[in-house]
Amino acid sequence: MKKLIILMAMIPLFMAGAARAEEQMAYVIKVTPTLAYLDVGEAVGAMVGASYTILREDGDGWVMVGKVQLVRVDDHFSIGEIVEIAEGETIEVLYRAVARWEWEGMGAMSDQGVARSRSMVGRRSFHLLAGADWGGNAQLSYDPFTTILTDAKSGTAWSLGLRLGQAVVEQWRLNLTYRIGKGEDVTQLAIEADVHWVPRGCYQAGFYFGGGVGVQQLSWEPPGNNTGSANKSGFNFTLGVQAPETMNLVFEVGYQKVMKFDDMIDLSNVRTYLGFGRRF
């Protein structure tokens, strides 16, 4: 019992130590093919010959990118020779740097290197989306005597959406998206299933490309007491950019093709969306 109490008392100390170690990490401020510049210098104890590990964030953990050995140290910055690069990785500006002995002391790596601290496969996410659908024929005109639809002009529909995603492998994400769009005269409810390819990994900042299919419920109000509605299938293509570490922000543009109704109501559109969310 006494050992258990001591162990429980030590847990906050370990957590605080890990948090302090992360705060003390330096940044990579410049990179050349053979050198990495770090914002750490003699003022905080850096010395020529010291070995630093370069890390990048990967979800809730870290991935080792490479190692540098300091060859020049000034008061507030250092220059390190790149002595090791992990397979498939490159050192980039704003990656983190930590003295090798400090990183090993955090218990996150050994002399043989670092594996991914936590796989992103199976991680889920959600995003709230807001934007506009451009060019859909949602402005309707009717014959005043027969109330027959005579024309449908293009316009802009403002739209909101909720997207649920899940990473199935490091670079592929499945999504289910619910959208509601309100045009001049037509309201569009949509359920879409699509897949995103994220070249740098599902939870790294960068571009993604996607495509999928969906079902659209269109509704409008013709003159008189009539109502109009139709269910139409469609497909979409998307290009987006994501910033997972900044409120999990996304910005995307895309094209959505919706099958026509009555050869006039064509809700096919170019769309732009901004979203934010989180992963869990």
Of the pLDDT bands very low, low, confident and very high (cuts 50, 70, 90), residue 24 is: low
Give pLDDT, residue 112. Answer: 40
Least confident residue range of 135-149, 193-207, 226-240 = 135-149
Of the pLDDT bands very low, low, confident and very high (cuts 50, 70, 90), residue 120 is: low
Least confident residue range of 27-31, 141-145, 210-214 = 141-145
> When comparing pLDDT for 273 and 23, which is higher?
273
Q: Is the model's pLDDT at 192 over the cut of 90?
A: yes
Domain ranges of the chain: 2-105, 124-279
Average pLDDT of the segment spanning 144-170: 83
SS (H, E, C) the chain: CHHHHHHHHHHHHHHHHHHHHHHCCEEEEEECCCEEEECCCHHHCCCCCCEEEEEEEECCEEEEEEEEEEEEECCCCEEEEEEEECCCCCCCCCCEEEEHHHHHHCCCCECCECCCCCCCCCCEEEEEEEEEEEEEEEEEEECCCCCCEEEEEEEEEEEEEEEEEEEEECCEEEEEEEEEEECCCCEEEEEEEEEEECCCCCCCCEEEEEEEEEEEEEEECCCCCCCEEEEEEEEEEEEEEEECCCCCEEEEEEEEEECCECCCECCCEEEEEEEEEEEC
The domain defined by 124-279 folds into Porin (2.40.160)
Give pLDDT, residue 225. Answer: 62
Give pLDDT, residue 3. Answer: 40
Residue whose entry in the numeric block shows the structure tokens 């390819």: 197
* Architecture of the domain delimited by 2-105: Beta Barrel (2.40)
**For the segment 228-237, what is each residue's pLDDT rounded down to a tens digit?**
788 889 999 9
Of the pLDDT bands very low, low, confident and very high (cuts 50, 70, 90), residue 19 is: very low
**For the segment 167-189, what is each residue's pLDDT rounded down to a tens digit?**
888 789 999 999 998 888 888 89
Q: Is the model's pLDDT at 16 over the cut of 50?
A: no
Average pLDDT of the segment spanning 107-124: 49
Q: Is the model's pLDDT at 165 over the cut of 60?
A: yes
Return d(Cα 280, Cα 275) in angstroms, integer.
17
Q: Is the model's pLDDT at 249 over the cut of 70?
A: yes
Return d(Cα 89, Cα 91) in angstroms, integer.
7
Least confident residue range of 29-38, 55-64, 93-102 = 55-64
